[in-house]
Structure formats: structure tokens, C-alpha cells
Amino acid sequence: MCGIVGYIGKNPALPILFSGLERLEYRGYDSFGFCVLDDDKVDYFCKEKGKISDQCHIKDSHSIGNVGIAHTRWATTGMVTKENAHPHSNQDKDIFVVHNGIIENYKELKEKLISEGYAFASETDTEVLAHLIDKYFKGNLEDAVVEAIKEVRGTYGLAAVSTKDPNKIVAARMSSPLLIGVNGDEFIIASDPSAIITRTRQIIHLDDNEIAVLTDEDFTISKIEKETRCLNVTNKEIEMIEWDIEQAEKGGYEHFMLKEIMEEPNVIEDAIRGRINIEQANAKLGGLDSIQERLRGINNIVLVGCGTAYYACKVAEYMFEEYAGISARSDIGSEYRYRKTIMSKDTAGLFVSQSGETADTLAALREMKEKGILTIGVTNVVGSNQARETDAGVYTRSGPEIAVASTKAFIGQLTTLALMTVYLGRQRDMSHVMGERIINEISNLPELAEEILALKDDIKVIAEKYSHYRDFWFIGRKYNSAIALEGALKLKEVSYIHAEGTAGGELKHGPLALIDENCPTVAICPSDSVYEKMLSNIEEVKARKGKIIAIATKGNEEIRKIADDVIYIPKTLEMLTPILSVIPLHLFSYYVASALGRDIDKPKNLAKSVTVE
């Protein structure tokens, strides 16, 4: 994996491919490559390690070919080398393939192909595809691709071109995102809308088991059947990308991450716009209308996510149980798929993913659907796999998030889950008074978030003060126990500093052994139902000479007596404090990483959308 772009049309392909890959840089990658064809010959080919921005001369090449494919690679199978970069080719170098995903049976396929005389030039699983296509090629590229992918097990989003069947791109998908951008008489294949937004906002999403054939005049999409060639698909609709290019630009900020943190009040506002019914003291979530009656019979919810999305699920556990009156449990997507779960028919699955393409979350979704469980999605991407496969869902409306470390998308998830809490609670025992109180407080959140962002210079000073420490601990309780995990994750992701997050009450059960004057603790301690308990946990840290950075409610002067530094957040309902308490943690992580000169938007070893297990 990580990013795919393909172009066919009337214009030189290379500059368009280069621009597309630049816009996919945010996904994280370690190498890249291009293949451009001019009719039946290779017009341009290169593969390199490192960053595209270091190779700007590529787009100025004299290449005139109007068909091409390109790729950014994030190493999965095989080391980071030029040989392992995509595109991969057959031995005769007349078939070229780029691929996202994992070919699980590539070793056995490779051994078989070697026994048949094929020689391999890389360590990757993708090269197997190039040789399989060559093996089945009989003059028609799409026929060969169909036969090749029938041999493989695993996931793929792929695009192939060949000088033996020129002037076409063949693309296929299985559990790895792929879309077609339509712009008059030119077509672009891509793994992410960001790659095509400068040329068109009209897209068609490929579904699993679909294959597309693109020429400079038209395209066709067919369904691959297990026992037959293909069945034509006729019901594919063109969708519109709802955001514009300005939203995907830095807007004068040094990094996308800072821009996206500063957008968090707008994200809250967009998430709640048109979704509040004051008269009924309820949330209006049109995406759930189709399952409204089924939701009334739900008594249990299993929430599934990965990374930051999982922490949103952990917060929602408390929201659903305390206010909606529903038993809730969170699972990590990669763990859920391998556990034997026992669920009754009054259970619903709720899946949270920024991209809607997170492989482990999708696998858990499909497992639940197989068992007949009601599935609900919370995602940011219209048309994503998750959005299409769940029974119903709600979009977070967070706009494009470019930095690898998720910030504003997390805020959008928490806000959306808070609205869902009201929606579910009002179906049950939540009173009109309580519903009104919650939605009024939710409505105030954008303004309260702005108050926190106004403190960014003060937070920067604190972050720089602590940037030389190599270990951190984050603690919180109840609603904010998951925010401790999120704060630690953000610091790890962008600063490369070791950080751990834990529930405050767990300190004495082991973590205190690591606390000393060289390990600061970030304590999330708003004035809520567990504030006194958090004070006790802070005292435990101070007794071990640990330094304390407190996230506290504005007006609390008591905390200054025991904390070394304090960052204040405005007062709100306890269930909504995570939406505010996480904002200073996002800023803190950003400014620590900035002080250390890290590559903040593209941290090493990480990818934005994890589409493989």
C-alpha cells in the first residue's frame, strides 16, 4: 500500500500523475514510482526511495504519453528499496502493475511461478500479480487481470497497463479503496479523492469484486463472478466530492496538523448543523431514520474502531450507558475479528472510522453482518466501504483531514456520538429536560472550543518547556480515561516521544514504578464527578517527584497548588468534557513535535488510512 493514481486522456499523463501523488503524500509512504505509456511503448518509467518533493524534476520531463499509473508505497512485504517500489512488471517489461493491499498467498503463488520459469526482481507480494497477468495474457489485458485475481487471496486495489494492449487502464478492487474520476474525455483512477480534486469533483466508487476498463473515450465497470467471466454493472452513479481544493490546502499554517486543530470549532459546528431539534429536545439524525424502529429494540451496543477512533468508542461507552440507558462495550477492530463473540439479536454494532476504509474495522463489520446484527456507521467519507456496507449511519462532516495524526476527525466523531446519545436516550428514558440540557451544551461547544484555541500561545510555551523529556504519562478517569490514551497516542505519533496513557486509578497497580522527576504526567482533571479521585492520583505522582501538567476547569485555583503547569478548559457537561479536554492535548503534542523539528504531517512509519490488516 499506500496510494494509487492512474490517468488516461488527451493530455500528457506524467504531470497529472505527479500532482496526484503529491496530494497523496499525507497518507505516509517511503518510496514511489511512475510508468507512462505512449501507444505501444514505454515513454517514462522511474522508481525512487524517499519523498516525491525531492524529485520535482520528474514532472518537467519531456514525457508525452497520455496513459500512466503511479504509486506511493508504504512498506508491508519487503524492505524500503527501489526494487520494491511500484510499479512492478513482468520479465519482458510490457505489463505494469500498481497495487494496494496484501496478497496473502503470494508465497505459494511465487513458488509456483518460479517453478514455471518466472524470475522475480523484488521481495514484494505485488510482483506476483504482474507475472500472473503475464501468464494469462492472450491479447486482452482485462481478461488476464480477471484470471490473475481469481488466483489470489487477500486484498487489492490495483491498476495495470500494458504495451501489448495499449491505450487502456484496467483497475480492480477487493477491500482496498479505488475510485474513478470523470472529467469529460479524461479519466483518473485513484485510491483517494485528494489525488483528483484539482481536475474533477465527479467520482464513481468501485465496489469489491469490480473491474474497470478505462480508455481515452469511455470506461466500463463489470462485476467479477467466481465461476464466470464478468457481468456488466449498470447502476453505478456519479457522486460529487463535497469539499473543495481550498479545504485541502494549508491556508497559511505551517503544518496541516495545526490547521486542522484550529478547525476543530468549525468541525463541531458542522457536525451539529441541522441536527438539533430544540422543540423536541432531540437530535435529528436522518441517516438513522431507516432503522429508527429497530433501534428502539436495541439493548446492547458493541462499538468498534482502531487507534484514535477506538478512543472515541471508549468515550461513547460512558455516554451511551449513563445517558442513553444502553449497555455498551468497545472493541479494537483488529482484536474483535479474532475473538468468539456471543451476541443476542437485541445487539447493534457501531463502527467508527475516519476513512471508512479501515481494514480491521471493516472485517468486524462484515463479521457482525454475517451474524445478522444491526450495523451502524460513523465515518467522515461519503461513499466509503463502511458507509455503503452498514445498515445505516451518520457522517461526521469533518472535511478532508490531511495530517496523518487525526485531530479534527476525532472531534467530529465525539460530537457525532454525543448527538447519537441524545437520539438513543430520547427513544428510552431520557427526559425532555435532560435532552434539552445536553443539546444546549452541545450547541455551545464551538464557542468553548474557540476559547481553548485562544490559549495556543500559552500551550506552546508549556510544550516547549517539556519538549526535552523522553517519557510522559497521561492519566484521566471516567469520560477522560480514553482522552488520556488519545493524548499519549498523539504525542507518540508526531514527536516520537515515549508516552503512555492509563486510567488514573490504575497508577498504583504498576505504572507508579516508572514515575519520577524525569517522567512528567499530564493529568486530565476537569471539575466533574471524579475530580476528587483525580486529585488523589495527582498526589501519588507528586509523592514520587513527578511533574504535573493539569487540564482543569476554568476557575479552579486549587489545582495550581499541586500542579506545575495548568491549562484551563471551559466548564461544560461532564459527558462533553472530552470534546474540550482533548483540544489542548492536540496542541501540546503539535508544539512539542514542532520544537523537536519533527515531520509533523507525515510521521515516520505511519500511514493515514490503514487498509491492510
Cβ-contact 354, 380 below 8 angstroms: yes
From the candidates 2, 35, 230, 519, which is the catalytic residue? 2
Residues contacting 139, CB < 8 A, separation 6+: 164, 165
Return all residues near 526 (Cβ < 8 A) that are at least 6 apart.
480, 551, 552, 553, 569, 571, 574, 577, 581
What's at 502, amino acid-wise? T
Catalytic residue among 408, 490, 602, 608: 608
Helix (H, G, I), strand (E, B) or coil at 16: helix
C-alpha cell of residue 330: 468497545
SS3 at position 593: helix
Preceding amide of 15 cis, omega within 30: no
Residues 161 and 177: their CA atoms lie apart, in Å, by 19
Roughly what angle, to the nearest 10 degrees, separates helices 408-426 and 577-595?
Answer: 170
Query: CA–CA separation, 7 vs 409, rounded Å?
Result: 30
Phi, psi of 159 (to 5 degrees): -135, 135
Q: Residue 364: phi, psi to the nearest 5? A: -65, -40
Q: Are 334 and 364 in contact (CB under 8 A)?
A: no
Residue that is written with C-alpha cell 441524545 in the block: 422
For residue 505, what are the CA distances in angstroms to 71, 530, 545?
A: 47, 10, 18
Closest CA to 200 of 239, 249, 157: 239
In the annotation, is 259 catalytic? no
Instruction: Give the span between the Cα atoms of 185 and 190, in whole angstroms.
Output: 17
Tell me, yes or no, if 35 is annotated catalytic. no
Cβ atoms of 73 and 5 closer than 8 Å: no
Can you say whether the dihedral through the CA atoms of 355, 303, 374, 336 is positive or negative? positive
> Can you name the residues that pair with 31 across neighbouring β-strands?
49, 73
| Contact between 562 and 534 (Cβ < 8 Å) | no
Task: Report helix, strand and coil shares of the chain as percent, to nearest 5.
Answer: 40, 25, 35
Count CA atoms within 13 Å of residue 234 on its CB side: 1
3-state secondary structure 398-456: CCCCCCCCCCHHHHHHHHHHHHHHHHHHHCCCCCHHHHHHHHHHHHHHHHHHHHHHCCH
Q: Are 378 and 423 in contact (CB under 8 A)?
A: no
Beta strand pairing status for 169-174 and 156-162?
antiparallel
- Distance, CA of 401 to CA of 260 (rounded, Å): 7
Q: What is the largest CA-CA distance in the chain?
A: 79
Tell me the C-alpha distance between 114 and 120, whole Å: 8
Strand pairing report for 179-183 and 169-174: unpaired
How far is residue 482's CA from residue 183's CA, in Å, rounded to a whole number? 44
Q: Do the Cβ atoms of 241 and 193 come closer than 8 Å?
A: yes
Which residues are known to be catalytic?
A: 2, 608
